[in-house]
């Protein structure tokens, strides 16, 4: 896939799915700006990406996507560095899993703030730039549990279902400006987020997946690339499930 000189923002790209999306975009010739929760995470990700893709352009900044001033500062700096933003991937996300009856207000707020509000804030800041350019593509990271629901993930599932509503609304609002907005809904992907689940839960989940394997971060990155590139140029407001058949 050719994404030569496309300017891409990826949130939460210090590790896991976000980092792999950054690698795939750089491989395809894009320029990548990433943010993550810690200074060290952002710095290390940039260093490692430049080690692998030495002639590429990579910008990294510690940014909490749930804080509007930090988001605006990050987007302003990316614009200064790159001169434009063609693609936004809202990938940053967290979990605070527990049964609803034990879920605290803080557990609820933390997850909704990062996953849903963060996706809104970053989209809002970037959409202003894309509107002026009359072009752009946004891909939001939902989840299979935003479609199916999941016990002990009321906050997370609600945030990921909310992302689907947000995606469809923004798609309708910005289609006339030639800006497309889609979502990817991964199933179970092997990352730090899922490594903390018990072996029992992992085995139970695997038994429910028709393709009989967990997703790799590359499986998810390829779907994000397709939707955000011109290959997906007539697709907007859609949710692409990448879940091995876990939810059909």
Return the active site residues.
Answer: 156
Shortest Cβ 132–ligand NAD spacing (Å): 25
Closest separation in Å from C-beta 211 to ligand NAD: 14
| Nearest-approach distance from CB 89 to ligand NAD, in angstroms | 10
Residue (174 or 188) nearer to ligand NAD, CB: 188
Supply the minimum distance, in Å, between the C-beta of residue 22 and ligand NAD: 10
CA 134 vs CA 124, 131, 220: distances in Å: 15, 5, 27
Which residues contact residue 197 at a Cβ distance below 8 angstroms, ignoring those fewer than 6 apart? none
Closer of 62 and 177 to ligand NAD (Cβ): 62
In DSSP notation, 81-150 reads HHS---EEEE---------GGG--HHHHHHHIIIIIIHHHHHHHHHHHHHHHHT-EEEEEE--HHHHH--
Cβ(44)–Cβ(14) below 8 Å: yes
Please report, as ranges, the residues that interact with ligand NAD according to CB under 6 A: 11-12, 14-18, 35-37, 41, 63-66, 91-94, 114, 118, 141, 143, 186, 188-189, 191-194
Other beta carbons within 10 angstroms of residue 200's beta carbon come to 8
Q: Which is nearer to ligand NAD, 11 or 228 (CB)?
A: 11
Comparison of 148 and 178: residue with beta carbon closer to ligand NAD? 148
Residue 120 CA to residue 92 CA, distance in Å, equals 12
């Amino acid at each position: 896939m050719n994404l030569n000189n496309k300017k891409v923002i990826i949130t939460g790209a210090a590790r896991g799915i976000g980092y792999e999306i950054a690698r795939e975009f750089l491989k395809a010739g894009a320029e990548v700006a990433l943010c993550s929760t810690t200074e060290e995470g952002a710095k290390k990700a940039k260093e490692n990406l430049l080690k692998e893709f030495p002639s590429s352009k990579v910008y990294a900044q510690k940014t909490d996507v749930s804080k509007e001033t930090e988001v605006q500062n990050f987007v302003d700096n990316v614009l200064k560095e790159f001169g434009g933003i063609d693609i936004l991937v809202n990938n940053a996300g967290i979990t605070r899993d527990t049964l609803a009856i034990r879920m605290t207000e803080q557990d609820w707020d933390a997850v909704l703030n990062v996953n849903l509000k963060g996706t809104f804030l970053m989209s809002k800041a970037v959409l202003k730039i894309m509107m002026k350019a009359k072009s752009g593509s946004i891909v939001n990271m939902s989840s299979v549990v935003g479609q199916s629901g999941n016990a002990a993930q009321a906050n997370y599932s609600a945030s990921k279902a909310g992302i689907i509503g947000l995606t469809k609304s923004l798609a309708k609002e910005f289609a006339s400006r030639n800006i497309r907005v889609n979502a990817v809904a991964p199933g179970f992907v092997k990352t730090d987020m899922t490594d903390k689940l018990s072996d029992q839960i992992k085995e139970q989940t695997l038994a429910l997946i028709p393709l009989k394997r967990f997703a790799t971060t590359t499986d998810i990155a390829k779907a994000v690339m397709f939707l955000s590139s011109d290959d997906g140029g007539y697709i907007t407001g859609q949710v692409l499930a990448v879940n091995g058949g876990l939810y059909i």
